Structures are given as C-alpha cells and as structure tokens.
Structure 1
Amino acid sequence: MRYAPVSAVLSIALAITASVGVAQDRDPDPRAAVLIADGKAALDAGQPQRAIDAFEAALAVDPGYTPIYLDLAEAARRDGMQGKAIGYYRKAQERDPRNYAAISGEGEALVEKGAIEKARQNLTKLESLCGESCPETQDLASALARGPQTPVLAAEDVLPDVKIEQN
C-alpha cells in the first residue's frame, strides 16, 4: 500500500521519457518528406529561396518534425540571412537541447555574422557535450579559425567623398 504512490510516479516518469525518446526518432509525414526532398534539391541547385519555400511548406505540413528547422537554417545561411538561420537553429535546440548539428550550425552562423565570442561559447558547449573529436565540434572549430566571411566596416569606410565648390 505504501509503495503505490512511488510506483505510480515512477511509471509515469518512465512513460514520459519513453514517449519523448520515441518522438524524436520518427520519420516525417510523407507529404512533408516530398517537400523536404524538393527543398534539398533546390539547395543543391543553388536556389536557396526556392528551398526555403519548400521547407516552410514542409513545416506547415509536419510542424513536429524538428530536422526541418535545420534544413531551413541551412537554406537561410546560403541566402545570406544568418540572423534568420540563428533563429531556426535555436528553435531546433528548444525542441532538442542536445542537437549537436543545431549547436554547431548556430555557431557557424554566428561566425559568419561576426559574433565570434558567442560562437566560442557554442564551441565550448559542444566540447562539453560530445568532445573535441565530434564532427560538429570540428566543423565549428574550423569555422572559427576561418573567421567572419563579411568584413566589418567602420563608419569612416562608407562615408562619401564630399567636395565643396563655390558658385
């Protein structure tokens, strides 16, 4: 009798953890899978905007399938929208905090944006989760070694040359 509450709590906890683990390893809805394949084909063809459209449609069909956020982030990065990509990577991490690809991708997008210190924090997090030999850790470390892709301009660099002439 006195073990009933403890066993009830343990069985509920086991059921919840089992259902969460199963939910992450599922296949997407077949309609979403077709749209994901279209998006990946568009990315391979160098058409990131078309890929974003396909991935967003797939997300509308199957909003519970987390890898779509990673695909959306990759397409946004290729389209030069690192801020949007970071948002998608963070949504993937909200659903799966130990998603190494999302942590690494966010770090790479941060490097591309010029936020080196924040990217280093992601590298530290990856090193603590999966180690230095993890492929995601190595990808982020090499992105940090390359540095930002776009140069950061000072205000003086974009000022027009002004010539004052008298009439």
Structure 2
Amino acid sequence: MDKPRQNGDTWAESSPETWLELCMRFTPASIALAALLTTVSSAGLSQRPDAQISALSVEWQHAGTAARKAGNYQAATDALETALAVDPRNRSAYIELAQVARAQGLQGKAIRLYREALLLDPTDVGALVGQGEAMVEKGAIAKAKENLAQAQSVCKTDCAVVGKLAAAIEKGPPATVLSAKDGVAVPKAVATETP
C-alpha cells in the first residue's frame, strides 16, 4: 500500500518507492513464470521422435519373439512387457504380445493389445488383421468385418494377410468345446403317479 500523503510530499519523491513496491509485488510471479516456461521448453527438446524406438526395447522384443516361437509363453510375456516398459511406443512389441495372448486363448486381451498398437499407427495392416482374427476367434464377426474393410482400404502392396482375415471371417468362429468342468445339465424326470 502507498503511504498516506503528507504536506511536503510530491510525486517525484514517492515514485521510486512506488516502483520498488511494484517490482517487489510482481517478482515472485515473474520468477515462477520463467521457471515454468524453461521447464516446458526443455521437456520438448528431450523427447525422441516416434520412429526412433529404444534399442534396449527392441532387444527385449526379439527375446520375447524367440520365447514365443519356442512355446514359452510366460517368458515371452515377461520379455515383451519389459520391452514396453522400456519404450511404450514399441508398436511391434504390442503386436507380438497380442500374438502370445492369442496363442494362450486370451482373445480379449489380444484385441486390447492390438488396439494399443493401432493407437500408435492406425494404418498398421498387421495389427488390423491380427485384431480382426482375434475378433473372429471371440465370435465378434461384425467387428472383424469392420477391421477387414479398414485393412483393405489401407493395404497397398502384399495384401495376402488381408485375404487371410477374409478367409477367417468366411470360416466363422471356432466351435465351442465343452470341458468336464462345464458340465451338461441333465433334465430331471418328472415324477408320475402310478395307478
């Protein structure tokens, strides 16, 4: 606050005090704003482009692929999840992890993982086809047809995988097999009176 005016005060005498007060009022806010702008601008400089995936993530992805091909799904899952922890932009690791989930019969998880890959690149034909095949295995034929249409519109060369999805849709979902745990309900006989 400005001090009250006294008889001998003039504008020239009180103005340095006013400017000093003014600077002191806005200094903390200007320092905070400068720190914020410095932080925001430096964060943009440290980010890598999307096409540049961490080499360590790619190594873990290759280890996961090898484990999946060997049939060791737990080791494959662990390696691929590590690859994604190192670099969450590794779209190929999402696709590989989805293939592991499909091999284990976890089509819902596979569909979600393919969706993560498609969020990174909506034009990935392999992810579209894989997700469509998982949808067919789950019984969601209408959704699989949407994926087929999208894959056909995106695919420009070597579209054999799109034909594979079309064949899977034509064939339909696999027949459901009952296990011993499922049990079959046996109808109870109605008791009748004997004459």
Q: State the TM-score, normalizing by the size of structure 1.
A: 0.73
Given that 2:128 and 2:151 are in contact with CA atoms closer than 8 Å, whether structure 1 keeps it comes out as yes
How far the C-alpha of 1:34 sits from its partner, in A, is 2.5
2:160 pairs with 1:135: yes
Task: Quote the Cα distance in structure 2 between the aligned partners of 1:128 and 1:64.
Answer: 24
Residue ranges of structure 2 left out of the alignment (5+ in a row)? 1-47
Q: Structure 2 matches for 1:92-131, cutoff 5 A? A: 92-130=117-155
Task: Quote the Cα distance in structure 1 between the aligned partners of 2:120 and 2:96.
Answer: 15
How far the C-alpha of 1:73 sits from its partner, in A, is 0.7
Task: Quote the Cα distance in structure 1 between the aligned partners of 2:172 and 2:75.
Answer: 28
Q: Mean Cα displacement is larger for which, 61-70 or 106-115? A: 61-70
Partner of 2:50: 23
**Cα RMSD over matched residues?**
2.8
How far the C-alpha of 1:95 sits from its partner, in A, is 1.1
Cα deviations by residue, 1:14-52 (Å, 9 ceiling, x for unpaired): xxxxxx9x623x3x4232222212211111111223211
Given that 2:63 and 2:79 are in contact with CA atoms closer than 8 Å, whether structure 1 keeps it comes out as yes
Among 61, 73, 87, the alignment partner of 1:48 is 73
How far the C-alpha of 1:61 sits from its partner, in A, is 1.1
How far the C-alpha of 1:64 sits from its partner, in A, is 1.9
Partner of 2:43: none
Which structure has more relative contact order (CA 8 Å, sep 6+)? It is 1
Partner of 1:85: 110
Letter paired with 1:100: V
Letter paired with 2:50: A
Partner of 1:10: none
Q: Mean Cα displacement is larger for which, 74-83 or 157-166? A: 157-166
Cα deviations by residue, 1:66-108 (Å, 9 ceiling, x for unpaired): 2111111111111110000000111111111111111111100
Residue ranges of structure 1 left out of the alignment (5+ in a row)? 1-19
Between structure 1 and structure 2, the one with the greater Rg is 2
Partner of 2:20: none
Aligned residues: 142
Letter paired with 2:108: G
CA 1:142–1:132: 2 relative to 1, 3 Å:
farther
Letter paired with 2:144: A
Task: Quote the Cα distance in structure 2 between the aligned partners of 1:43 and 1:143.
Answer: 22
